[in-house]
Amino acid sequence: MKQRKPGSSEKKPKGKSLRSQLWFDNPDNPGMTALYLERYLNWGLTREELTSGKPIIGIAQTGSDLSPCNRHHLELASRVREGIRAAGGIAFEFPVHPIQETGKRPGAALDRNLAYLGLVEILYGYPLDGVVLMTGCDKTTPACIMAAATVNIPAIVLSGGPMLNGWDGERRIGSGMVVWQAREDHAAGKISYQQFIDLVANSAPSIGHCNTMGTASTMNALAEALGMSLPGCAAIPAPYRERGQIAYDTGVRAVEIVHEDLKPSDILTRKAFENTIIANSAIGGSTNAPIHINAIAKHIGVKLDITDWEKVGLDIPLLVNMQPAGFYLAEEYYRAGGLPAVMNELLKAKKIHADAITVNGKTMGENVKRAKIVNEDVIRPYKKPMKERAGFKVLHGNLFDSAVMKLSVISDEFRDRYLSNPKDPMAFEGRAVVFEGPEDYHHRIDDPKLKIDENTMLFIRGTGPIGYPGAAEVVNMQPPDYLIKKGILSLPCIGDGRQSGTSASPSILNASPEAAAGGGLAILKTGDRVRIDLNKGTADILISKAEFAERKATLEKQGGFKYPPSQTPWQEIQRGMVDQLGEGMVLKPAVKYQRVAQK
Ligand code: FES
Ligand code: MG
């Protein structure tokens, strides 16, 4: 890598080596150049604008009427354009395949890799020198960064920002999260259907993405922790004036990084990924983060695997007091200092790599060293955290090779019931009840024949990237209504799917390989005893090796684990080439394509 002084803005001689000149100023190929120019002039651009060395900056527009979480990017893009223009660039805005977490059947995660593929083709195939990635709702952020990583042209993330806080009278209600709470209240007969709907609607009072530390706030914070956005960008609520201002600054910076040739591969280093894992523990980030961050690492070619999440992140304390792991919501988190204040705590505690370069040309250390915590109840100082050891525990055993558990959301109720045996403090055993996907769970959970009690572990399978295309967010299963009414609000849940980043359930999830890819979950039977040991990091069905082998052989004889047929062409295509959740759920053939703009 070329040595670059942090913060320097050494410029390339203008008009010399912009990638877009291959399209618009290429005398070696006059026929194609004329054709390229002709159509891009027809909407009013001048030839001077396209050939005088002004960088052409794509604006990867993820907002649309189908994507409410990102819809305000349609307006925000005008501030980005003004920044690009002021810095001497030309803006080309284009649509990215929509990914709306709460709108897409059978699940938005199915489309992360589709949006990725589409964006790779756009960034590679069109005359773009750099790109602003307009991120927001959960999977829009990883999809965009994964594509920028593959193509490796200068790229900068502009988050859309969270919604304002949701309120039910004086009570804060967080988007996404309120659904889990309201479901319990509804199941227990405390609220009506209409109250349920109203409560959930009140959690979303403005434009923006989820106002909890769900997957959206997590992934945008982590984009900033990776160094891919301007410092302070992620936490600014969508309607605030600062959002428009940082959109302008992002546009300006997009032009500068083209002149500086500062590419994703300069920023997305192993150090940046380690900083990101550490940041995720401190913010109480989503269990979807390892999937998406590992995918970005795979596409940029940095070695990172699921065990790094425990090695690097487990011992980091929870600093951010925000739902689902805490109390507050997005506006308080922003006012308390947002990610820069969190990163500075981690910097002072010598937990992060200060010298990781970021997209503003400065190091992470330089960016955050003056950031202050404004409210120590919302962002805790490192020495007075919300919780110690708040990272992810990575488990393995005969059930799966890897699965994660988010320790920061283990409730006192859960800890008292399952993790307080003085002889065996971090382990528990139980009787398995197995569900074949979310529909089966919904049909049978209240069936008394299943004999579910507080010593039951709920299992769900057929919900991984192959079994349920894109992997369903279903592992956080509620106990049957009769147990909830008795005050048992959670049971251990284990599965090969995901769970929402807004869930406060300490499920064991993202099990890889999934049942449909030959994982041990496939041979589990209702009634089996299962042991989870959080000390050793193991999860095993308590059967002999011989019994395990015999069940596997029987399953194979029956043609393997069954899952429903694909409903669309993309479901079938992705199922044929997708990797497991522990591996980032990437498309296996895509990983070998790296730095494609340089080839
Ligand atoms: Fe889009 Fe939560 S549903 S961010
Ligand atoms: Mg989600």
Q: How far is the CA of 21 from the centre of ligand 2 (A)?
A: 41
Task: Lowest mean pLDDT of 6-10, 51-55, 151-155, 243-247, name the range.
Answer: 6-10
**Ligand 1 atom with minimal separation from the 502 CA:** 2
193: exposed, middle or buried (Cβ count in 10 Å: 0-12, 13-18, 19+): exposed
Here the ipTM equals 0.93
Q: Could you give the count of Cα atoms lying within 13 Å of 332 in the half-sphere of its Cβ?
A: 20
Query: What average pLDDT score do residues 221-227 get?
Result: 98
Does pLDDT of 16 surpass 60? Answer: no
With the most atoms of ligand 1 within 8 angstroms of its CB, the residue from 67, 69, 288 to mutate is 69
With the most atoms of ligand 1 within 8 angstroms of its CB, the residue from 71, 73, 101 to mutate is 101
Does pLDDT of 7 surpass 90? Answer: no
Sign of CA dihedral 360, 362, 365, 370: negative
Q: How far is the CA of 215 from the centre of ligand 2 (A)?
A: 6
Confirm whether 589 is domain-assigned.
no
Q: How far is the CA of 128 from the centre of ligand 2 (A)?
A: 31
Q: Which residue CA neighbors atom 2 of ligand 1 most closely?
A: 210
175 lies in which domain range? 167-203
Please confirm whether the linkage preceding 205 is cis (ω < 30° from 0).
no
Q: Could you give the count of Cα atoms lying within 13 Å of 124 in the half-sphere of its Cβ?
A: 17
Confirm whether 565 is domain-assigned.
no
Q: What is the DSSP string of 280-315?
A: HHHHT--TTHHHHHHHHHHHHT----HHHHHHHHTT
Does pLDDT of 180 surpass 90? Answer: no
Q: Report residue 262's pLDDT band, with 50, 70 and 90 as the boundaries.
A: very high
Confirm whether 593 is domain-assigned.
no
Beta-strand pair 171-172/508-512: unpaired
pLDDT of residue 421: 87
Selected residue with higher pLDDT from 412 and 258: 258
Question: pTM, whole model, 2 decimals?
Answer: 0.95
The mean of the pLDDT values for the chain is 94
Confirm whether 484 is domain-assigned.
yes
End of a domain among 146, 181, 203?
Answer: 203
Query: How large a percentage of the chain has pLDDT more than 70?
Result: 97
Q: How far is the CA of 137 from the centre of ligand 1 (A)?
A: 5
Nearest C-alpha neighbor of 560 from the set 521, 517, 512: 517
- Can you read off the two tokens belonging to residue 573? 């295509």
Q: How far is the CA of 497 from the centre of ligand 2 (A)?
A: 12
Q: Where are the alpha helices (DSSP H) in 445-523?
A: 481-485
Smallest-distance ligand from the CA of 472? 2
Q: Report residue 4's pLDDT band, with 50, 70 and 90 as the boundaries.
A: very low
- Give residue ranges with CB within 6 A of ligand 1: 69, 101-102, 137-138, 176, 209-210, 214, 216
Confirm whether 554 is domain-assigned.
yes
Q: Which residue CA neighbors atom 1 of ligand 1 most closely?
A: 137
Torsions phi, psi for 439 (to 5 deg) = -65, -45
pLDDT of residue 3: 43
CA distances from 539 to 120, 290, 461, 511, 587 (A): 38, 19, 15, 11, 28
Do residues 499 and 509 lie in contact, with contact meaning Cβ atoms separated by under 8 Å?
A: yes
Query: What average pLDDT score do residues 545-567 get?
Result: 97
Do residues 76 and 247 lie in contact, with contact meaning Cβ atoms separated by under 8 Å?
A: yes
pLDDT of residue 11: 43
pLDDT, tens digit, 9 for 90 and up, residues 515-535: 999 999 999 999 999 999 999
Selected residue with higher pLDDT from 477 and 12: 477
Beta-strand pair 155-159/130-135: parallel
Q: How many domains does the chain have?
A: 2
Does pLDDT of 348 surpass 50? Answer: yes
Task: Lowest mean pLDDT of 51-60, 469-478, 517-526, 588-597, name the range.
Answer: 469-478
Q: How far is the CA of 101 from the centre of ligand 2 (A)?
A: 6
Smallest-distance ligand from the CA of 238? 1
pLDDT of residue 8: 39
List the CATH number of the domain containing 492.
3.50.30.80
pLDDT of residue 235: 98
pLDDT of residue 195: 93
Q: Where are the alpha helices (DSSP H) in 514-565?
A: 545-557
pLDDT of residue 489: 86
Q: How far is the CA of 69 from the centre of ligand 2 (A)?
A: 12
Task: Lowest mean pLDDT of 225-229, 363-367, 375-379, 404-408, name the range.
Answer: 404-408
Q: How far is the CA of 179 from the centre of ligand 2 (A)?
A: 12
**Ligand 1 atom with minimal separation from the 101 CA:** 3
Confirm whether 351 is domain-assigned.
no
Does pLDDT of 230 surpass 70? Answer: yes
Compute the radius of gyration of the chain from its Cα atoms: 24
CA distances from 81 to 32, 88, 98, 260 (A): 27, 11, 21, 20
With the most atoms of ligand 1 within 8 angstroms of its CB, the residue from 111, 164, 175, 178 to mutate is 175
Confirm whether 373 is domain-assigned.
no
pLDDT of residue 562: 95
pLDDT, tens digit, 9 for 90 and up, residues 281-293: 999 999 999 999 9
Query: What average pLDDT score do residues 534-563 get?
Result: 96
Smallest-distance ligand from the CA of 140? 1
Beta-strand pair 56-61/90-95: parallel
pLDDT, tens digit, 9 for 90 and up, residues 315-331: 999 999 999 889 999 99
The one-letter amino acid at 517: A
pLDDT of residue 487: 87
Selected residue with higher pLDDT from 273 and 506: 273
pLDDT of residue 187: 82
Residues in CB range of 427: below 8 A, 6 or more apart: 419, 421, 531, 532, 533, 534, 535, 536
- Can you read off the two tokens belonging to residue 124? 């590679």
pLDDT of residue 518: 95
Helix and strand element counts for the chain (H, E): 22, 14
Do residues 515 and 450 lie in contact, with contact meaning Cβ atoms separated by under 8 Å?
A: no
Q: How far is the CA of 55 from the centre of ligand 2 (A)?
A: 36
**Ligand 1 atom with minimal separation from the 176 CA:** 2
Confirm whether 510 is domain-assigned.
yes
Smallest-distance ligand from the CA of 500? 2
End of a domain among 176, 203, 230?
Answer: 203
pLDDT of residue 334: 98
Q: Report residue 12's pLDDT band, with 50, 70 and 90 as the boundaries.
A: very low
Q: What's 527's DSSP letter?
A: T
pLDDT of residue 1: 38
Beta-strand pair 493-495/456-461: parallel
Query: How large a percentage of the chain has pLDDT more than 90?
Result: 87
Smallest-distance ligand from the CA of 159? 1
Smallest-distance ligand from the CA of 63? 1
Q: Report residue 570's pLDDT band, with 50, 70 and 90 as the boundaries.
A: very high
28: exposed, middle or buried (Cβ count in 10 Å: 0-12, 13-18, 19+): exposed
With the most atoms of ligand 1 within 8 angstroms of its CB, the residue from 71, 137, 207, 329 to mutate is 137
Query: What average pLDDT score do residues 122-146 get?
Result: 98
First-last CA distance in the chain: 16
d(CA 196, CA 319): 31
Nearest C-alpha neighbor of 219 from the set 389, 348, 131, 101: 101
Q: Which residue CA neighbors atom 3 of ligand 1 most closely?
A: 101
Q: How far is the CA of 501 from the centre of ligand 2 (A)?
A: 6
